[in-house]
Chains A and B, each alone.
Chain A
Amino acid sequence: MAKKPISKNNQQNKAQKETKTTPPTTTSTKPQTEQAPPKKTTPQKPTLQKPKEKVLDNLSILKTSPYIQQKRESKANQKPNSLKELFEQNLLSQKEERLEIVLTGQYERALDLMFEADASNLYPILVGPPGIGKTTLCRYYAQSRAEITGNDSFEWITFDESTKPAHLIGSFNPATTIQKGFSFEAFNSGPLIKAMLNGGLFLANEVNRATEYTQNSLLEPLEERTLSVPHIGRVKASSGFFFIGAMNPSELVGTHRLGEALKDRFNVWIELDYPDKKTEMKIIEHNNPYYKVEESILEKIYLIINRTRTHHQIQTPASLRSGIALARLTGVAQKRNASEEPNKILRNLASNVLYGAIQTKPGVKTKDVINNIIAQVLGSI
């Protein structure tokens, strides 16, 4: 059987190993019997990160991430949770999760107005670009309201083209109807009815994405505080029923105009815009609790995101979410490699975040605009 040839590398390694294991020569007076051959000096090899170590880096980032719940090592005889158990465990409850938000500037003012509108039995609508915090503010308001009034009923629905009146009011299950007739048992109540009957809060999110037909189904609840349920009758809202709308400005893609009649029923129009620098930086910081970045980096992140809002070639700018995303990614990257220059990290990550976050005007290349912005804020390479 032929001997397996030893590769050059292996030969070298073997030699290195041999030299390593050779005990160090000691100085002694014993006469030298043989002249040791002169040692070869091998050139210094660059220390390359072995692939095995890099995989560990990624793993360690995931392992230490607070966003990812690590599965505890289960004991041998412990059964894994069923889907039903997991569902019940994870069912959202207001009492469990108290929202903490940045309440300064326009958000403070908006919250005040919502309280005043609620006290006056008027219906507010929040209007602002995506990612500005409309839904978060409404959820915060719902929790605050629950603390004050003791009524934690809060229903909400996000509208789109396919939302039908039945999604709001509810509908009869045809199969049950055939067996039990048009009765309450056969009726699956929708979120609007639930909120009305409980005297709670109803949030109509992205209300101007609904078709006019669906929007019209909101007219009666807003005006008369009643709702007609086919085959059952007209129900009236309990005291305390409060309706909030939220929408993006109508010039954005995918939105409809609010019908005149519905528009007239919203009494308080709270316009939210991109917040001022201080507030936005606070919001980004607040939403990035685990991978903190320095104030100076945070400021640069803000400048990059804010520049998309004043750039003349950008049609749809980046939202607050992009700032949060960039801050988190930067924090993780810094954690991975603390010695890397922050500007370089930002430069690389900003392109990835902004590419899908902005929309340029017709004929303008997104990449060019992004590079332009990065160069303006971080300087040219």
Chain B
Amino acid sequence: MIIFPQSPVWFSLKFITAMRNHEKCMYKPSIRQAIAICKLIIARFMNRGQCEIADFVEIAVVTSPLENQALARKIATELLSYSDPTKNRVSSDTLKSDMFGSETAQDLLDELTLDLSELDEIYDDFELLDNFFNELEDLDLEQLIDESLNDFFDKFADQLEEDPYKTALKFIDNNAVANFNQFKDLDAFLDYARELLKKKINHLEPEDIDAAEKLGMLDEISSKTESLKEKLMSQLAKDQNLDAFKKGLEERLIENSFEGLNIAEFALKSNKLNQQGQNLIKDLLKQNLSKSNKNLNDIFNTSKILGMNPKIAQKKLDNILNTSLKLPFKDAYNNAKNFDQYFGDNLSEQYLNEINENFENFNRRQSSADIKDELINNPIKSPAWRKLISNIIDKDVEAINKDYNDDQMIDAQMKNYIDNLIESKKGCSDLSCQSQLKSKVSELINKTVGGAATKDSLSTMVKDFNKKGFTPDMKTIKDAGTRLGMTETEILNLIEKSYKAFKQLVKENQSTYKTYKDYLDQLGLTPEQIDEVVKLALGGAPQKPPNLDVLSALSEKNLAQVLKSAEEMGKEALDMAFSSLGAGSGLDLLEQWFYSRHNISAKIKQRLKEIIKQIMIDLGINAANSLIGTAKSGPLVENIVIPYTLGDDFELIDLEETISNLLEGGKTVNTITNDDFLVSKTTDGLRCLVLELDVSGSMSGNKLSQMALCTTMLVYAFKPEELALTFFESNTHKLKNLDEEVELEKVVDELLDITARGGTCINHALKWANLQFEKKARSKYKLNVLFTDADVFDFNNSLKELKIMREKDVKFVMVVPKFGFSPVMANKMVKEADGVLLTLNQWRDFPKLISEIISNQ
């Protein structure tokens, strides 16, 4: 009777060694885990009377911390799957049937206990060997090889042309560095090759089987290896018994399809199979696909090994496609696409058809947003793709109309949805699919515009969609406008705008800033036209009042040109131009500042900067006031003295204060109570904030202005001593440390002077932030906000710093612009820091979003 499939001690040691050496191991396991594995295996056996491979795997998993468990499962499975089931088993031949109270059972336990105590030493040896091999890598081995090799070749040139020496030479050449001086004769040389091959047992390459045959080591491999594939192949190479090999492979394919495929691949690559053998294996793999519960991943993996399309019967294929509906869409779809790419098939289309036929069920199980994104980013030119995308979009639209009762909300949600679709469309690599998507988007736009709830939303939608290159159908606009009670002029304004009409409006000087802004959003004036309009707006003064509204609107489009034209007209005109600034929200003006300040003459730049600064401060303060969860105290340490409560550390009792208290109270020893004792405590500040701002070249214009505004808001929401700030691009420019005193206005000044340039090297900025938290922050809660578009150069180094931040319990928030950031890098960084990713569409959303994060801390 076999008790354990493996020696628990062997398994635990191998397991923790493999874990320690794996790059994805989050926490290196200690010897405690090895001991725990052994103990738990024995306990499991005592509990259930057996301990199978699955139990070994489970025990390896549960003794690992959660972060390591997925990796633990993988490694344990591999260690146990590739082992020879007849090796290293603990059998009951030496044990009596009754485990309890049996002497030999006690022997077994004693032996295991001894092994456990030796684990420490064995493990130290492993580490020593590891260090030794590392040092070996540093030696200049090439020179050594050359010298000794020449001597050896001179002596044995003829023999080395023939087997087994030829094979031995090739093997040594492929696998190890040899000092040929050590070989006195060819036998020593052969022995060395054999030793090398012996060490490689359990990790053989397919071609090593041939080397083993030539070196006469097949028996040895067969008896010593724990790897089933090596065992089967070595036996096959020796006795050419294809039937036995086939049987072994068949069994494995049934038990573990993936492992079976590995064995098949190994065999096919080993060149030890004749044509008949190869055909046999290939047939076996094809037959395997016709078994139940196979899916697209199995087809893909099998075909990769076969190097050909397995050509499955349509009925079987239909079953496979149906089973594949349970797989995550992305995996199945990509495998199907890859399959089509290699073999010129249409599996992906069939898969999509299957989904279309079972759409309702499929849609309930998987996230439609993920499927949609995957389909758009990886399109295939087929009706099935078009139908599926259309189904998904229709379903999403249906959901929006169901979820929201308010028509205005529906309008807003639909617009948001369409905006996202338009943006996603840019990622669609196939032109024909892009065009199909575009027509679906146009269809949606016309529906949405046609159903607009208010005049404002109709106007906004038409304007925005026009900007994005989608012009809604004119009749639809007209009908909607009429339904909503718009005048003909208003409707016409929506449909067509002209420069001539605009100038007329300017001349009349009756319209508002908003009307001019709407016009300008659609018109796109040249600098010469702007110059003309400025002169029109200011030219009538002082007889006619200047048209400041149009100047306001114009300055948000091209501030530099407006000021330049006004400057040319004289000081008074320039003053009037300045007085018109700030009619809008200020964001567009701020954006203009960052875009065009280098084109503004030095003379007026400083004056402009003061205006912009004030706008930014006002906006920042207003937003800061709406920020909830602001810090109550800074990081300055305060000492307080309070009465003792049970549980307080004895050492905190302040003797002097206590004695004074007792004397003042006139208390005797017998009447002392706990309340009479006073303890000193230090209270730390509640919250501190460290900001890193990405000012690299990719962060220009709108991104920069949004970042500057959000930063200003935070600057005015936190106390100066709770705030640290740095810019970074290829270099890091520290603006303020946590404990430094700097005027906040100066910080705003610096923000306005930012120029986006250089690459994005984030590592130093994060290192600086960690130092701030470690050395200077005494606050209970630590918040790190990183503004970036996540297009970083030193991504891997930055992960280390983020891990440190996570370990310090710092709340990490990454703020990225909604469009134009690297989602893969951003998500990875946020995951490493265990933080939150905020995508910012408008800076106005920032106070609420950051408040929620702060108040959840």
A and B together in one complex:
yes
Assuming the contacts A174-B674, A178-B672, A269-B62, asked whether A251 and B845 have C-beta atoms less than 8 A apart, the reply is no
Chain B, 812-857, CB within 8 A of any chain A CB: 834, 836, 838, 845, 848-849, 852-853, 856-857
Cα–Cα distance between A110 and B836 once the two chains are bound (Å): 32
Which chain A residue lies CB-closest to B31?
Answer: A264
Interface residues of A in 319-371 (CB under 8 A from B): 359, 362-363, 368, 371
Whether the pair B27, A257 counts as a contact (CB closer than 8 A) is no
A359 to B856, CA, bound (A): 10
Q: Which residues of B contact A260 (CB under 8 A)?
A: 27
* Interface: A299 (CB within 8 A): no
> Could you tell me the dominant secondary structure of chain B's interface residues?
helix
B604 on interface, CB distance cutoff 8 Å: no
- Within the complex, the shortest CB–CB distance from B646 to chain A, in Å, comes to 6
**Which residues 10-61 of A have a CB within 8 angstroms of B?**
none
Among the 9-residue stretches B42-50, B477-485, B616-624, B698-706, the one with 4 or more Cβ atoms under 8 Å from chain A is B42-50
A104 within 8 Å of B (CB atoms): no
**Residue A269 contacts which of B39, B42, B64 (CB distance < 8 angstroms)?**
B64
Q: Which of B32, B44, B650 contacts A265 (CB 8 A)?
A: B32
> B674 and A230: CB pair below 8 A?
no
Q: What is the bound-complex CA distance between A362 and B677, given in angstroms?
A: 46
| A253-B856, A268-B40 known; A179+B650 contact, CB < 8 A | no
Kindly provide the distance from the CB of B344 to the nearest chain A CB, expressed in whole angstroms: 37
Known A116-B44, A175-B673, A267-B33; contact A380-B402, beta-carbon cutoff 8 A: yes
Q: Once the chains bind, are A120 and B43 in contact (CB under 8 Å)?
A: yes
A74 to B294, CA, bound (A): 72
Interface membership of chain B positions 33-70, coded 1 if the CB is closer than 8 angstroms to chain A and 0 otherwise: 10010011011101100000000000000111110010
Q: Are B62's CB and A113's CB within 8 A?
A: yes
By beta carbon, the residue of chain A nearest B852 is A362
User: B367: which A residues are within 8 A, CB to CB?
Assistant: 312
Q: Does A372 contact B (CB under 8 A)?
A: yes
Given A116-B47, A363-B848, the answer on whether A271 and B403 have CB atoms closer than 8 Å is: no
- Mask of B715-757 contacts with A, CB within 8 angstroms, 1/0: 0000000000000000000000000000000000000000000
Chain B residues with CB under 8 Å of A267's CB are: 32-33, 36, 40, 63
**Shortest beta-carbon distance from A325 to chain B in Å:** 23
Is B670 part of the binding interface, using a Cβ–Cβ cutoff of 8 Å? yes
A155, B653: Cα distance in complex, Å: 29
Q: Does B809 contact A (CB under 8 A)?
A: yes
Contact string against A for B residues 755-769, beta-carbon threshold 8 Å, 1 for contact and 0 otherwise? 000000000000000
**Contact, CB under 8 Å: A116 / B853:** no
Q: Given A256-B809, A269-B62, A359-B856, are A175 and B672 neighbors across the interface (CB < 8 Å)?
A: yes
**Which of A163-171, A192-200, A275-283 participates in binding chain B?**
A163-171
- Known A-B contacts A174-B653, A175-B674, A312-B367; the reply to A164 vs B647 at CB < 8 A is yes
Cβ-defined contact, B62 with A270, below 8 A? yes
The A contact surface, by secondary structure, is mixed
Given the complex, which residues of A lie within 8 Å of B650, measured CB to CB? 166, 171-172, 174, 230
Q: Which residues of B are found within 8 Å of A158, using beta-carbon distances? A: none
Query: B669 at the A/B interface (Cβ < 8 Å)?
Result: yes
In the assembled complex, the Cα of A271 lies from the Cα of B672 at a distance in Å of 49
Which B residues are in CB contact (< 8 Å) with A251?
834
User: Would you call A117 an interface residue if the criterion is a C-beta within 8 Å of the partner chain's C-beta atoms?
Assistant: yes
Cβ–Cβ contact A263 & B62, under 8 A: no
B648 on the A face (CB < 8 A) = yes
Chain A residue nearest to B47 (CB atoms) is: A116
Neighbour of B39 across the interface among A121, A165, A256, A266, CB < 8 A: A121
Does B27 contact A173, Cβ atoms closer than 8 Å? no
Report which of A172, A265, A312 forms a contact with B369, defined as CB distance below 8 A.
A312
**Complex: chain A residue closest to B677, CB-CB:** A174
The 3 tightest CB contacts between A and B, nearest first, are A120-B39, A267-B36, A116-B43
Chain A residues packing against B (C-beta within 8 Å):
112-113, 115-117, 119-122, 127, 164-167, 171-175, 178-179, 188, 230, 249-251, 253, 256-257, 260, 263-271, 312, 359, 362-363, 368, 371-372, 375, 380
